[in-house]
Amino acid sequence: MAKLYFRYGAMNSGKSTGLLQAAFNYEERGQLVLLAKPEIDTKGADQIESRLGVSRTVDFLIGPADDARAAVHAAAGGRDIACLLVDEAQFLTPAQVDDLLRIAVLDDIPVIAYGIRTDFRTEAFPGSARLLELAHSLEELKTICRCGRKAIFNARLVDGRFVFDGDQVAIDAGLHGEVTYESMCAACYLRESGGRLDGR
Q: What is the pLDDT along the chain (200 residues), one digit of tens a residue?
A: 899 999 999 999 999 999 999 999 999 999 999 999 999 887 778 888 888 888 899 999 999 999 999 999 999 999 999 999 999 999 999 999 999 999 999 999 999 999 999 999 999 999 999 999 999 999 999 999 999 999 999 999 999 999 988 777 765 555 567 888 999 999 999 999 999 887 56
Contact in structure between 106 and 144 (CB atoms under 8 Å): no
Q: Which of 39, 88, 178, 182 does the annotation list as catalytic?
A: 88
- Where residue 83 falls (left for φ over 0; alpha for ψ -120 to 50; beta otherwise) is beta
Residue-level pLDDT at 165: 83
Residue-level pLDDT at 173: 52
Amino acid identity of 154? N
Residue from 67, 9, 35, 37 nearest 171 by CA: 37
Residue-level pLDDT at 178: 85
3 state DSSP class of 134: helix
| Whether residue 88 lies in the annotated active site | yes
The reported pTM is: 0.91
DSSP secondary-structure letter at 136? S
Residue-level pLDDT at 197: 85
Residue-level pLDDT at 90: 97
Torsion angles phi and psi, residue 92, rounded to 5: -75, 155
DSSP secondary-structure letter at 4? E
Cα 35 to the center of its chain, rounded Å: 12
Contact in structure between 13 and 143 (CB atoms under 8 Å): yes
Torsion angles phi and psi, residue 135, rounded to 5: -60, 140
